[in-house]
Chains A and B, each alone.
Chain A
Amino acid sequence: MKKWFKTYLPFSRATVQAHILAYPFETFMYFFGMTIGIFVVYYIWKIIYATGGYNLLEGFTFHEMIVYVVLSFAAMQVTDNGTVWIIADEIKSGNIIMNLIKPINYHMRVFAEVGGITGFLTMVMIFPVLIITILMVKIGTPITMMFFIFSLILGVVISFLFDFIFGMLAFYVKNLWGIGFGKYALVRLLSGALIPLVFFPKPIQGVLNVLPFKGIIYTPVMIFLGKYNSEEILINLLTQMMWIAVLGLMNYLFWKKAITKLTIQGG
């Protein structure tokens, strides 16, 4: 374990370091963009609640809805971390070879990198936003907070494993841009990043329950909001873990197949 950290932590460190060195302005703009995004959605919901005169909408009070918006935004930032593009780029440019000549596991390396950036952004931006929101609306307890963080980490892993499979399509598809954006929009919708999943018609909710995307954002955020009792929390966490196992296995099999087919252009 210690050796494992020693091998892969440098990738996290280097990426964060390079990120800060190369993009200080972008890092700031990212924060700025996120804040604007949250405000836009905040006002939309404010109008919906006010004009409809609702106290509760599908079980959400206005305050809960705001926390949902902020948290799902933050969760989206940490779970959508560019994995697809790192992989697709390296496969397409052939630079993946510079990783394969090293005694490292490629999945681990990519995870260390995106995990590094994610951890960094979480520390400097998402935590502050989160804490301010919680202090303002006074929702959540230390216990739900703990389960939320644990569930969110599982969500990050689910998202990573899914993105990794998606990125490996670059072995077969020349240009991932188009379907990459399609995937992004779809995952946002199906994971509950845009609206809580309870807003979907019942049959669709049934389908969403058997897909992995719910575990990326909806599950952790609902846990935080205290919408689940302890039994439901357990079931949801187990479901997330099951998806990690399934996606992990799919990754293993797909990678094994893709790597023997690997052809590296140029050089």
Chain B
Amino acid sequence: MIQVKNVTKDFTIYKKDSGFKGAVKGLFVRKKEIIKAVNDISFEIKKGEIIGYIGANGAGKSTTIKMMTGVLTPSSGEITVSGLIPHENRIENAKHIGVVFGQRTQLWWDLPLEETFTILKEIYNVPDDAYKERLDYLVNLLDIQAFIKQPVRTLSLGQRMRADLAAAMLHSPDILYLDEPTIGLDVLVKEKIRFAIKDLNEKYKVTVILTTHDMSDIQELATRIMIIEKGVIIYDGSKEDINKRFGNNRMLELKIENLSETLLQEVSVMCHKKDKKSIVIHEDVVLRITFNQDRLAVADILGFVMSQCKVLDFKLRDQDIEDIAKRLYAGGIHEEVV
């Protein structure tokens, strides 16, 4: 359904030196700098998939989406969406897609929400009966009835976002691009939006490309995850396989009686001998060890610690997407790739 092949997008920015002198200088000479917002990415998306597209701020998620929607032209590479090249057939492509940008709205600010829906019906040329059915479905699904007669500018962020999602789906598009649709929303609204996305996907086989910083969105919705960092896709696969890719990390938490500096030192040395990247930290009486279980066995750590002191309690946890995302956002997950 969607093919992206070796796509790169460069932005040229002009750097100015700071201060008054820099500003004056900038009038005559401008330093050019090229940013590779997206750098040689390739992937394919099949009908009915829900892609969780994650990455830190500035990683290139929105740029990718803007190219797939045909708004931006790739600097190089090829994109086809249902057989069309989006930026060359922007209008034709737009008929079959729905887009929500979390930070923007496509609703008419001064008009009652209902009016926006009517206008969209006409723009997308939706037949009367199909429109009625669709609107009923979406109004129910997203719980919109209560505020459908209000001017959009009076809506809360949560209401507006639900309305925006409905607006993007009125013309029954095959593909739904969602760029941070849950940004700034409370848990209940997030729940509603997730449920709606899932329902649309299950009932109508809508293909969804979703960017978010909320890992529970991904956990609940995504059938496949793509991670982009600094314009490069560093992971593309299932939720389950993600651990294999990013090191089979686990975390062991030990509650210890009389935790001493020497003990900490000794455990640390022992762990590093086997896994150079293991991390040993402590908080009060809790010792927290993050390690790669391909290199260091839980039993080894436990055995060693228990031979040195009394362990009151322990907890073992697998690394989840949240942890991966944390490391990702902290910068440089690829350094830890095994």
Contacts and interface: CB of A to CB of B under 8 A. Distances in A.
Interface of A: 3, 6-7, 9-11, 13-14, 17-18, 21-22, 94-95, 97-98, 100-105, 259-260, 262-264, 266-267
Contact of B110 (A22, A101, A266): A22
A98 B106 contact: yes
A267 B104 contact: yes
Contact of A105 (B91, B109, B110): B91
Contacts of A94: 104
A97 B94 contact: no
Interface residues of B, number: 36
Contact of A14 (B87, B92, B102, B111): B111
Contacts of B11: 263
A83 to B, nearest CB: 19
A103 B124 contact: yes
A97 B125 contact: no
B297 interface: no
B182 interface: no
Contacts of B319: none
Given A18-B111, A260-B87, A267-B179, 18 more contacts: A7-B125, A10-B119, A14-B111, A21-B111, A97-B71, A98-B101, A101-B71, A102-B94, A103-B95, A104-B91, A105-B91, A262-B71, A262-B73, A263-B11, A263-B72, A264-B66, A264-B72, A267-B103
A11 B97 CA distance: 20
Contact of B92 (A103, A105, A266): A103
Contacts, number: 82
A267 to B, nearest CB: 4
Contacts of A17: 110-111, 115
Cβ-closest 7 pairs across A and B: A18-B110, A103-B94, A10-B119, A267-B103, A101-B99, A103-B95, A22-B110
A103 B119 contact: no
Contact of A103 (B66, B91, B101, B110): B91
6 contacts: A17-B115, A102-B123, A259-B73, A263-B72, A264-B71, A266-B103
A267 B102 contact: yes
B69 interface: yes
A9 B118 CA distance: 12
Contact of B101 (A21, A97, A259): A97
B94 A14 contact: no
Nearest to A20: B110
B179 A7 contact: no
B108 A14 contact: yes
Nearest to B70: A100
Nearest to A105: B91
Contacts of A259: 73
A7 B108 contact: no
B62 interface: yes
A266 B58 CA distance: 10
B42 to A, nearest CB: 22
Contacts of B122: 6-7, 9-10
A3 B69 contact: no
